[in-house]
Amino acid sequence: MDGRTGPGGQGQGQGRGPQRPSFPWTLILWLLLLFFLLGPWISSLFRSKEVEISYSAFRRQLEAGNVQQVMVRGEKITGQLKKPASEQAAAGKTTTYTEFFTYVPSFGDSQLLSLLEAQKVSIVTKPQRNMSWWTDILVGLLPFLILIALAVWVLRRGGLGGSQGIFSFLGSRAHLYEQRKERTTFKDVAGARGAKIELQEIIDYLRDPARIQRLGGKAPKGVLLVGPPGTGKTLLARAVAGEANVPFLSITGSDFVEMFVGVGASRVRSLFADAKKMAPVIIFIDELDSVGHRRGIGVGGGQDEREHTLNQLLSEMDGFEPNEHVVVMAATNRPDVLDPALLRPGRFDRRITVDLPTLKDRVEILKIHARDKPLSPDVDLEEVARGTPGFSGADLENLLNEAAILAARRNQDTIDRKDIDDSIDTILMGLERENIAITNQERRLVAYHEGGHAVVAAVLPNTDPIHKVTIVPRGRAMGVTQQLPEKEKYIYPEDFLLNRLAVMMGGRAAEQVVEGVATSGAADDLKQATVLARRMVVEWGMGESLGEMAVGEGQEGVLPGAEIPPRPEYSEETAREIDEEIKKILREAYNRAVEVLQEHREGLDRVAQDLLEKEEVTGKEVLEIIGVKKDQTPAEELASQSVSG
């Protein structure tokens, strides 16, 4: 359960903050009593200075031509004289008036209208109303009552200075996670062994600060978690707080930035002020790149609200005021755009990389997310982990969730292997397109296209094993050839990359070998192949003419707010050489794919025929059809070797 921090925030092991003021019912009752007691007097204040006169006096003034206008409302006549007149009251007191009111006698006056017209008096008529004095008061005091109601609402919300007051947008928006209610520890985080070891020092410091201080050391003020989305950076931060048993304040970088200048800086000050009251405490800022962009690159310059917020954050982390026992943790997947002042020692001292999980990590993650899911005996989580390379922890959680949904849709009591395989296909390739209309000729082209990928991947050495080939339309693809690596790869040899390019070109090559035409079905293959070839030349120095020269591409992308795109770090002549190298590598990969398919044309025809009949062929069946034998470690043995480290 989370709560917002503020002056009345409650941290672990501390007492409750100030209680919200109770509603002042007694005061409201006294005000209502006064309202009714003083009602007639207040009503008279809202009435005009009209004097009640007798009907005879009204007739005399009318016959004398001294009446300027009258307003008739039922039996009441209200009027205004041209010049003041005097009337003697019953007590003998003389009253001078220009505005008056009187009442028509119950027996009426048939000559009144004729007399008014003869004297050319302006006549206004209005419908009769029956309003009591308290109604008059209510109408007159309505604006004041609205203001009072608004003031009471503000009071009930905690006042102008409360955490939920009318100016609460200036305060911190951090969520407080109390460890007593929702504690997360390293047991809930699978994998990330290296990150856990580095974070253990932070835990030791929060548990026993004197242990480091007596040796003259200081714990890191800031820890930056860097890694792809979904790798568990936020979960690791919460686990650090759970292991150290300290409060955990979580906020995203976008919560600091508003359109009003100074709001973000105010929220930063409020956040650190609240944290100091709870110390020792962990502040976690997710998506730090949304507020920590490099300064001085936009049109707004130093006047940008984002830069004001960043300046305040820099000051709070390492300014004049010490932040003892306050550890700031942040997460981002774009460390390249962060301001250098954030990354210097004294602010984010430590940078921890949280990579995608390895095979062993994926097995542990799957076991955690499978705790509350009934799996059938045919589900081998180690085999599932091997079939999900590149999946993050969030992807694996989503995989098992999709499998559970699919099993429920099929009215099953357990989740079987087919449910998991179908979920993997859905995540990797998209939903199956069942109602697509495709001609026999198009279907044949798709079969040969995917067969071309499969045959080239099966024949060439040093390629990832084929998992399966399908011509079932999924997502935007009409068919897919799926390859799964035998083990985790961190370094890619040049021959592996060249063979990978040949596999990508296998679809276009099969179209040319069989039909002698080129189709739009190879669009995605050509795009991926061009990207890979460019990286080989530009970044990895695998081009013949450039040799071991990595020319780079300037800055990594254009930063938000940048006035001009980054300039390439090479000349136009070098750019032409790069294009020629890329073209040469792609042409050689295409020619190699054509040679393989021409040599194994019979196997290509058989694979395509099986795809037309069954729509899906496994990698083992492809090898049997072509008659190629590859030395591959059995899946069970490979998984056990990899998991054992």
Q: Which residue numbers are catalytic? A: 450
164: which residues sit within 8 A by CB, 6+ positions away? 4, 6, 157, 158
Q: How many CA atoms lie within 13 A of 573 on its CB side?
A: 2
226 touches 352 (CB < 8 A): yes
Number of residues that make up the chain: 645
Burial annotation 203-225 (CB, 10 A radius, 16+ → b, else e): bebbeebeeeeeeeeebbbbbbb
| Cross-strand pairs, 543 | 547
Which residues does residue 618 pair with via DSSP β-bridges, in sequence order? 468
Look up residue 288 and give its two tokens: 């730090």
Report the amino acid identity of residue 352: I
CA–CA dist 475, 431 (Å, integer): 6
3-state helix, strand, coil in the chain (%, to 5): 50, 15, 40
Which SS3 state, helix, strand or coil, does residue 405 take? helix
Q: Which amino acid is at 323?
A: N
If you write DSSP's letter for every residue of 333-358 in order, what string do you get? S-GGGB-HHHHSTTTS-EEEE-PPP-
- CA distance linking residue 268 with residue 256, whole number of Å: 7
Q: Where are the alpha helices (DSSP H) in 279-392?
A: 305-317, 340-343, 359-369, 381-386
* Peptide bond connecting 634 to the previous residue in cis, omega within 30 degrees of 0: no
Rama region for 99: left / alpha / beta (φ>0; ψ in -120 to 50; rest) = beta
Q: Does the CA dihedral 17-19-20-21 come out positive or negative?
A: negative
Cα distance from N-terminal residue to C-terminal residue, the chain? 38
> What is the C-alpha to C-alpha distance for residues 244 and 208, in angstroms, rounded to an integer?
9
Separation of alpha carbons 317 and 282, rounded Å: 13
C-alpha–C-alpha distance, residues 48 and 52, integer Å: 12
How far is it, in rounded angstroms, from Cα 503 to Cα 453? 5
The CA–CA distances, whole Å, from 420 to 387, 397, 398 equal: 10, 12, 11
CA–CA gap between residue 121 and residue 457 (Å, rounded): 107
Alpha-carbon gap, residue 541 to 530, rounded angstroms: 16
Beta-strand relationship, 94-103 and 76-88: antiparallel
Q: The tokens of 178 are what?
A: 């109390």
List the one residue out of 642, 643, 605, 611 whose CA is nearest residue 626. 605
